[in-house]
Amino acid sequence: MLQFSSRRFSTSMAMKSLLERELYQGNSVVRFVLNDKKVNTLSLDMINELYTELKAIDKIEKIRSVVIAHNGKSFSAGHELKELTTESGSEKHNEIFNTCGDMMNFIRNMKVPVIAEVNGTAAAAGLQLVASCDVVVAGKSSKFLVPGQKLGLFCSTPGIALVRAVPRKVAMDMLLTAQPIDAEAALRAGLVSRLVDDDQVKFEALKVAEQIGQFSRSVTALGKAFFYTQAELSTTEAYRYGSRVMVGNLKLKDCQEGISAFIGKRQPEFEHSNDLVEEVKKN
């Protein structure tokens, strides 16, 4: 059964934290809630705080998945425009986009899956964050857009994540027209994984986390890493690489435990480690 009880926890962050932090399912799921009291802009402070937390969480063996949620009607309105004026200077601008890009890449490279919980509007870099997550659960009233054209600032970096999540023609339509798409269209395009009623978004996101958490952490990490790597290879190269990964996967103790449990008609007892089984020597 889904353990829908939470425990808030604090870190060494200052009182002006832009994130709320909650623990679920025996402290194995961390739910970060974007909360800047406005529209959850990805200011440099917000990016740095979330990035720092994600890097710390990925090192904790007990964690099985991360949920990124939000307070208010906006998942995130994108970058803080006040930080993008000429007065801020090119050095600051470079820091913003480079740090943001590093965080998006890190999400993809994390050992644990990251689930976006969207119950509102995700715009520009906010959409970039959604598209960078492994699974996206959205409410039916949610909207997604890359409106940079309206400001004379093309959503170039958000488009990187967008075009890797939806077909090119859909991405270009969104980027060129700056028009939003609704949650149904986002689901059809592949930007959203699961679509539910607005009042069920949190429950569904935690349900996804629960479903992931019943499996081996080490195998999940292996599978996530392989998925993104093979997607950038040719089909021939992907199959060759996949064969090697599958053979390596079979050497994990958790894999052989899972196979043994299935054959024995019992529940597996995963160790969530990268320990290998001993090779059986043939005479």
| Residue 118 backbone phi and psi in degrees, to 5 | -110, 125
Per-residue confidence of the chain (283 residues) as pLDDT tens digits?
454 556 665 544 445 789 999 999 999 999 999 999 899 999 999 999 999 999 999 999 999 999 999 999 999 999 999 999 999 999 999 999 999 999 999 999 999 999 999 999 999 999 999 999 999 999 999 999 999 999 999 999 999 999 999 999 999 999 999 999 999 999 999 999 999 999 999 999 999 999 999 999 999 999 999 999 999 999 999 999 999 999 999 999 999 999 999 999 999 999 999 999 987 776 6
Asked whether the domain spanning 217-264 has the same topology as the one spanning 19-214, the reply is: no
Using alpha carbons, select from 44, 104, 111, 53 the residue that is nearest to residue 79: 44
Write down the pTM of the prediction. Answer: 0.94
pLDDT at 242: 98
Q: Where are the domains of the chain?
A: 19-214, 217-264
CATH class of 217-264: mainly alpha
Measured between alpha carbons, how far is residue 255 from residues 159, 211, 282 in Å?
37, 18, 21
**Sequence-distant (≥ 6) Cβ neighbours of residue 155 within 8 angstroms:** 124, 146, 147, 148, 149, 162, 175
**Sequence-distant (≥ 6) Cβ neighbours of residue 206 within 8 angstroms:** 2, 4, 24, 25, 29, 31, 67
181-182 sheet: strands from edge to edge: 74-76, 121-123, 143-145, 181-182
Question: Does residue 26 come out as left (phi exceeding 0), alpha (psi in the -120 to 50 range) or beta?
Answer: left
pLDDT at 14: 42
Q: Please answer whether residues 20 and 32 qualify as being in contact, where contact means their C-beta atoms are separated by less than 8 angstroms.
A: yes
pLDDT at 252: 98
pLDDT at 278: 86
pLDDT at 233: 98
**Sequence-distant (≥ 6) Cβ neighbours of residue 230 within 8 angstroms:** 238, 241, 242
Using alpha carbons, select from 94, 93, 70, 72 the residue that is nearest to residue 81: 93
Q: 2.60.40.10, 3.40.50.300, 3.40.1360.10, 3.90.226.10: which CATH number matches 19-214?
A: 3.90.226.10
DSSP reduced 3-state for 125: helix
| Residues across the chain | 283
Give the CB-side neighbour count of residue 102, counting CA atoms within 13 A. Answer: 14
For the chain, where are the E strands, in sequence order? 7-8, 19-24, 29-34, 65-70, 74-76, 114-118, 121-123, 135-139, 143-145, 181-182, 194-196
